[in-house]
């Protein structure tokens, strides 16, 4: 097995800003990328669940990738979500992302289609063979109803261009076992906005988080505090961020609460696309309270 590219540190799952008319806010993407890089993130990840990839056209996805790559300007790598229900569609989207300048891709397990573990292994193995680009596997069973089994993961990490796993299962027992089994072979990253501290304490390599759209510097500081064994500082930051993390972590109606929080902070967001609904008045109040607890307002 060759030396794998290192995927580590704090990586925002970047939102896709829209204009008032619901079109791509290209200028807003550039501003968002600058804001995130200025706040110390290691890499930018676009077109994930937070980026509403499933709500964008093919042309829009390519435009988001090109705009993000151009805005990053080589200051940090750019990872692009290319997940789809079928192997053929993922290969096509992964090729498009590579051609648009992506440094790596993140591929969520199939959704709607529910394969066996052997089918899942072949899905990722075929993509890895077909497109020469570093691949981050994405496990989020609450959204997809498909989990990457531990034995399947052990097989997948032997493939050269499979370089990391983002786990958003919310299951700490699974996450710890992933660290034990493959933590020395690939990057293991949490996607759990509300369980960052326990995951960092388990020694994982970083995180890909929606929360970074709201408070990137605080998340970077939290990660660094754990790495430097400054646990009192880490706990303080974690508890400041927790109400915000919980407010945006519900699978239903995501990423509407996140976009609302970013809008409240005066940064480009716009509304999420239908069928996602704007947040209610009580939800807005809860988000405002959470931002105050985090000292962001």
**Closest residue by Cα to residue 207 from 227, 182, 180, 230:** 227
pLDDT at 99: 98
Query: Which CATH number is 9-230's, of 3.40.50.720, 3.20.20.70, 3.40.50.300, 3.30.70.1400?
Result: 3.20.20.70
Question: Can you give the residue ranges of every domain in the chain?
Answer: 9-230
Kindly write down the DSSP assignment for every residue of the chain, as one continuous string: -PPPPP--EEEEB----B-TTSSB-HHHHHHHHHHHHHTT-S-EEESSTTTTGGGS-HHHHHHHHHHHHHHHTTSS-EEEE---SSHHHHHHHHHHHHHTT-SEEEEEPPSSS---HHHHHHHHHHHHHHS-S-EEEEE-HHHHS----HHHHHHHTTSTTEEEEEE-S--HHHHHHHHHHHTTTSEEEE--GGGHHHHHHTT--EEEESGGGT-HHHHHHHHHHHHTT-HHHHHHHHHHHHHHHHHH--STTTTHHHHHHHHHTT-S--PPPTTSPPPPHHHHHHHHHHHHHTT--
pLDDT at 2 over 90: no
Structure tokens at 72: 């990053």
Cβ–Cβ under 8 Å, residues 263 and 269:
yes
pLDDT at 138 over 90: yes
- CA trace torsion 264, 219, 189, 37 (10° rounding): 80
pLDDT at 141 over 80: yes
Average pLDDT, the chain: 97
pLDDT at 250: 83
Q: Which residues are catalytic?
A: 138, 166
Task: Quote the pTM value.
Answer: 0.97
Cβ–Cβ under 8 Å, residues 169 and 109:
no
Radius of gyration of the chain (CA): 18
Tens of pLDDT, residue by residue over 217-239, are 999 999 999 999 999 999 999 99
pLDDT at 295 over 80: yes
pLDDT at 143: 87
Which residue do the tokens 């990391």 mark? 164
Share of the chain above pLDDT 70, in %: 99
Tens of pLDDT, residue by residue over 27-78, are 999 999 999 999 999 999 999 999 999 999 999 999 999 999 999 999 999 9
* Residue 12: pLDDT band with limits 50, 70, 90: very high
pLDDT at 249 over 90: no
């Amino acid at each position: 097995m060759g030396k794998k590219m290192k995927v580590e540190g704090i990586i925002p799952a970047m939102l896709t800003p829209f204009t008032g008319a619901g079109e791509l806010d290209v200028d807003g993407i550039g501003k968002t990328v600058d804001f995130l890089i200025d706040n110390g993130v290691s890499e930018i990840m676009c077109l994930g669940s937070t980026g509403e990839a499933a709500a964008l056209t093919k042309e829009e996805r390519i435009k988001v990738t090109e705009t993000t790559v151009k805005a990053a300007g080589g200051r940090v790598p750019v990872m692009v979500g290319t997940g789809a229900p079928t192997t053929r569609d993922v290969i096509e989207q992964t090729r498009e992302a590579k051609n648009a300048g992506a440094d790596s891709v993140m591929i969520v397990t199939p959704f709607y289609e529910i394969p066996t573990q052997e089918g899942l292994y072949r899905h990722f193995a075929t993509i890895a063979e077909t497109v020469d680009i570093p691949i981050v596997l994405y496990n989020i069973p609450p959204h997809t109803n498909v989990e990457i089994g531990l034995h399947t993961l052990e097989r997948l990490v032997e493939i050269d261009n499979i370089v990391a796993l983002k786990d958003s299962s919310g299951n700490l027992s699974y996450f710890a076992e992933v660290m034990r089994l493959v933590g020395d072979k690939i990057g293991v990253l949490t996607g759990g906005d509300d369980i960052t501290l326990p995951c960092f304490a388990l020694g994982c390599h970083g995180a890909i988080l929606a929360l970074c759209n709201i408070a990137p510097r605080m998340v970077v500081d939290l990660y660094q505090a754990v790495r430097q064994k400054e646990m009192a500082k880490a706990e303080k930051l974690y508890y400041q961020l927790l109400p915000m993390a919980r407010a945006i972590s519900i699978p239903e109606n995501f990423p509407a609460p996140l976009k609302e929080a970013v809008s409240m902070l005066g940064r480009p967001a716009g509304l999420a696309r239908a069928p996602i609904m704007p947040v209610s008045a009580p939800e807005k109040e809860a988000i405002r309270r959470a931002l105050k607890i985090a000292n962001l307002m």
